[in-house]
A and B are shown apart, each in its own frame.
Chain A
Amino acid sequence: SQTIHQWPATLVQPVGSPLSLECTVEGTSNPNLYWYRQAAGRGLQLLFYSVGIGQISSEVPQNLSASRPQDRQFILSSKKLLLSDSGFYLCAWNGQGGEKLFFGSGTQLSVL
């Protein structure tokens, strides 16, 4: 069966520090991969999605970047975190042509 792993679960980082959040999917090949952010008291915002290795689409301009170095690995990064980067980050995947998204357990990022 397919599973999605996302880590770390919580992270506290100072302003200006770098960020790397990792997401891996098991049990499937060539998934579509997504990064969402959920700010406190707000809905989900799609940040990036990827339909294949090295293919990244950005939905909103921001301080973050994403990379997909392997088929089932999706990384969210920042060179210098801002206070506004705080939030709950969710990785998700679906199959090619699949309609249902499967979410990871999320990372709570606090930038202080």
Chain B
Amino acid sequence: AQSVAQPEDQVNVAEGNPLTVKCTYSVSGNPYLFWYVQYPNRGLQFLLKYITGDNLVKGSYGFEAEFNKSQTSFHLKKPSALVSDSALYFCAVRDQTGANNLFFGTGTRLTVIP
């Protein structure tokens, strides 16, 4: 069965510094991987996805993620953090057995300190 793991519940970073939110995956076959962001009391918003091709995927709001097959990782990154980036971030993997379900990680709360 496919799954993703987010090892950090909380990440704190100073404004202007680079940020990384970690995600590792477990799938049989080629993974379809996603990052979503959730602001307080809101639904999730799509940030970016990896299906195939270039290992560095660029997404919304200046975020990018690097797919690393040997390390089975898909870490989310941004060169310079903004206070407005503070939110809950979810990594997800697509169900390969049937309907287009996504299985989400437990989430990482990012706090950008002014």
Contact = CB atoms under 8 A, between A and B. Distances in A.
Interface of A: 6, 32, 34, 36, 42-44, 46, 49, 51, 57, 59, 90, 92, 94, 97-106, 108
| Majority secondary structure of chain A interface residues (helix, strand, loop or mixed) | strand
B99 A46 contact: no
Contact of A106 (B6, B42, B101, B105): B42
Interface size class of B (residues with CB under 8 A): 20 to 34
Interface string B53-83: 0000000000000000000000000000000
A105 B104 contact: no
Interface of B: 6, 32, 34, 36, 41-46, 49, 51, 90, 94, 98-107
Contacts of A103: 36, 43-45
Nearest to A46: B101
Given A42-B106, A43-B90, A44-B90, A100 B49 contact: yes
A51 B32 CA distance: 20
Given A42-B106, A99-B51, A94 B45 contact: no
A43 B105 contact: yes
A82 to B, nearest CB: 22
B45 to A, nearest CB: 7
6 contacts: A32-B99, A99-B51, A99-B94, A103-B43, A105-B43, A106-B43
